[in-house]
Protein backbone atom coordinates (compact mmCIF):
# COMPACT_ATOMS: atom_id res chain seq x y z
CA UNK A 1 0.00 0.00 0.00
CA UNK A 2 1.38 3.38 -0.90
CA UNK A 3 1.50 6.53 1.17
CA UNK A 4 -0.74 8.11 -1.46
CA UNK A 5 -3.72 5.92 -0.53
CA UNK A 6 -3.59 5.22 3.22
CA UNK A 7 -6.22 3.13 4.97
CA UNK A 8 -8.77 5.47 6.55
CA UNK A 9 -9.30 4.09 10.05
CA UNK A 10 -11.65 5.16 12.81
CA UNK A 11 -10.33 3.88 16.15
CA UNK A 12 -13.00 3.70 18.85
CA UNK A 13 -12.57 6.19 21.65
CA UNK A 14 -14.44 8.09 24.32
CA UNK A 15 -12.83 11.45 23.49
CA UNK A 16 -9.70 10.57 25.45
CA UNK A 17 -6.53 8.77 24.41
CA UNK A 18 -6.47 5.92 26.92
CA UNK A 19 -3.86 3.14 27.12
CA UNK A 20 -5.53 0.89 24.51
CA UNK A 21 -5.90 3.78 22.07
CA UNK A 22 -2.22 4.67 22.37
CA UNK A 23 -1.20 1.00 22.22
CA UNK A 24 -3.10 0.55 18.93
CA UNK A 25 -1.02 3.26 17.28
CA UNK A 26 2.20 1.82 18.70
CA UNK A 27 1.29 -1.50 17.07
CA UNK A 28 0.33 0.12 13.76
CA UNK A 29 3.55 2.13 13.69
CA UNK A 30 5.59 -1.03 14.23
CA UNK A 31 4.40 -2.53 10.94
CA UNK A 32 6.19 -1.97 7.64
CA UNK A 33 4.60 -0.65 4.45
CA UNK A 34 1.28 0.00 6.17
CA UNK A 35 -0.02 3.54 5.84
CA UNK A 36 -3.13 4.80 7.56
CA UNK A 37 -4.99 8.01 8.30
CA UNK A 38 -6.95 8.48 11.51
CA UNK A 39 -10.27 10.04 10.49
CA UNK A 40 -11.41 10.91 14.04
CA UNK A 41 -8.83 12.12 16.53
CA UNK A 42 -10.30 12.61 20.03
CA UNK A 43 -8.00 15.56 20.71
CA UNK A 44 -9.42 17.41 17.68
CA UNK A 45 -12.61 17.96 19.66
CA UNK A 46 -12.81 21.58 20.82
CA UNK A 47 -13.16 22.35 24.51
CA UNK A 48 -16.81 22.61 25.55
CA UNK A 49 -18.20 20.66 22.61
CA UNK A 50 -21.64 19.21 23.40
CA UNK A 51 -22.59 15.54 23.16
CA UNK A 52 -24.71 16.31 20.07
CA UNK A 53 -21.76 18.02 18.38
CA UNK A 54 -19.52 15.05 19.16
CA UNK A 55 -22.11 12.64 17.77
CA UNK A 56 -22.22 14.72 14.58
CA UNK A 57 -18.42 14.62 14.45
CA UNK A 58 -18.51 10.80 14.71
CA UNK A 59 -21.13 10.50 11.98
CA UNK A 60 -19.21 12.82 9.65
CA UNK A 61 -15.93 10.98 10.25
CA UNK A 62 -17.60 7.60 9.72
CA UNK A 63 -18.58 8.68 6.19
CA UNK A 64 -14.92 8.75 5.19
CA UNK A 65 -13.77 5.74 7.25
CA UNK A 66 -12.93 2.43 5.62
CA UNK A 67 -12.90 0.49 8.88
CA UNK A 68 -13.90 0.97 12.53
CA UNK A 69 -11.39 -0.51 14.96
CA UNK A 70 -13.18 -1.28 18.21
CA UNK A 71 -10.86 -1.54 21.19
CA UNK A 72 -12.93 -3.80 23.41
CA UNK A 73 -10.83 -3.09 26.50
CA UNK A 74 -12.46 0.33 26.74
CA UNK A 75 -16.00 -1.03 26.44
CA UNK A 76 -16.70 -0.99 30.19
CA UNK A 77 -15.53 2.58 30.71
CA UNK A 78 -16.77 4.09 27.40
CA UNK A 79 -19.75 1.88 26.55
CA UNK A 80 -21.97 4.78 25.44
CA UNK A 81 -19.44 6.03 22.87
CA UNK A 82 -18.36 2.61 21.65
CA UNK A 83 -22.00 1.58 21.13
CA UNK A 84 -22.68 4.81 19.22
CA UNK A 85 -19.59 4.34 17.04
CA UNK A 86 -20.60 0.74 16.28
CA UNK A 87 -24.12 1.92 15.33
CA UNK A 88 -22.68 4.68 13.14
CA UNK A 89 -20.43 2.13 11.40
CA UNK A 90 -23.45 -0.07 10.73
CA UNK A 91 -25.42 2.87 9.33
CA UNK A 92 -22.58 3.74 6.95
CA UNK A 93 -21.72 0.10 6.07
CA UNK A 94 -18.24 0.43 7.57
CA UNK A 95 -16.74 -2.96 8.53
CA UNK A 96 -15.67 -3.50 12.13
CA UNK A 97 -12.40 -4.97 13.37
CA UNK A 98 -12.63 -5.90 17.04
CA UNK A 99 -9.41 -5.99 19.07
CA UNK A 100 -9.73 -8.23 22.12
CA UNK A 101 -8.95 -6.71 25.53
CA UNK A 102 -5.28 -6.57 26.44
CA UNK A 103 -4.91 -9.31 29.03
CA UNK A 104 -6.77 -12.48 29.95
CA UNK A 105 -10.39 -11.27 29.67
CA UNK A 106 -12.57 -11.86 26.63
CA UNK A 107 -14.39 -9.33 24.43
CA UNK A 108 -18.12 -8.89 25.08
CA UNK A 109 -20.24 -11.22 22.91
CA UNK A 110 -22.42 -8.33 21.69
CA UNK A 111 -19.33 -6.74 20.13
CA UNK A 112 -18.04 -10.01 18.68
CA UNK A 113 -21.25 -10.64 16.76
CA UNK A 114 -21.06 -7.20 15.09
CA UNK A 115 -17.40 -7.50 14.10
CA UNK A 116 -16.21 -8.72 10.73
CA UNK A 117 -12.84 -9.69 12.24
CA UNK A 118 -11.86 -10.38 15.87
CA UNK A 119 -8.14 -10.18 16.59
CA UNK A 120 -5.77 -10.10 19.52
CA UNK A 121 -2.97 -7.66 20.27
CA UNK A 122 -0.57 -8.56 17.49
CA UNK A 123 0.54 -5.94 14.99
CA UNK A 124 0.46 -8.35 12.04
CA UNK A 125 -3.03 -9.67 12.76
CA UNK A 126 -4.39 -6.16 13.34
CA UNK A 127 -2.86 -4.95 10.07
CA UNK A 128 -4.12 -7.99 8.15
CA UNK A 129 -7.65 -7.57 9.56
CA UNK A 130 -7.70 -3.90 8.57
CA UNK A 131 -6.50 -4.73 5.05
CA UNK A 132 -9.10 -7.48 4.63
CA UNK A 133 -12.02 -5.55 6.15
CA UNK A 134 -11.33 -2.27 4.39
CA UNK A 135 -10.27 -3.39 0.92
CA UNK A 136 -10.59 -7.20 0.86
CA UNK A 137 -6.80 -7.33 0.51
CA UNK A 138 -5.67 -10.77 1.65
CA UNK A 139 -1.98 -10.68 2.52
CA UNK A 140 -1.65 -14.46 2.26
CA UNK A 141 0.93 -14.13 4.99
CA UNK A 142 2.07 -17.24 6.78
CA UNK A 143 4.45 -18.11 9.57
CA UNK A 144 7.36 -20.48 9.12
CA UNK A 145 7.98 -22.80 12.00
CA UNK A 146 11.31 -24.57 12.14
CA UNK A 147 11.72 -27.85 13.95
CA UNK A 148 14.99 -29.29 15.18
CA UNK A 149 14.55 -33.05 15.11
CA UNK A 150 17.99 -33.88 16.47
Instruction: Kindly list the domain boundaries of the chain, sorted by start residue.
Output: 7-135
6-53 pLDDT, tens per residue? Answer: 999 999 999 988 999 999 999 999 998 899 999 998 888 778 899 999
45-95 pLDDT, tens per residue? Answer: 778 899 999 999 999 999 999 999 999 999 999 999 999 999 999 999 999
Band (pLDDT 50/70/90 cuts) for residue 103 is confident
Give a three-class secondary structure readout of 60-127. HHHHHCCEEEEEHHHCCCCHHHHHHHHHHHHHCCCCEEEECCCCCCCCCHHHHCCCCEEECCCHHHHH
For the domain with range 7-135, which CATH number is right: 3.40.50.10310, 1.20.1280.50, 3.40.50.2020, 3.40.50.9200?
A: 3.40.50.9200
The pTM for the full model equals 0.88
Amino acid sequence: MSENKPFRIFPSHGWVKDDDYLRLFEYLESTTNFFYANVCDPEASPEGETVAQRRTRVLDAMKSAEVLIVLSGMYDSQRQWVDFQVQAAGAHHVPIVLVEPFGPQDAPPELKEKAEHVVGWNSRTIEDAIRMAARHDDTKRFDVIEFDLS
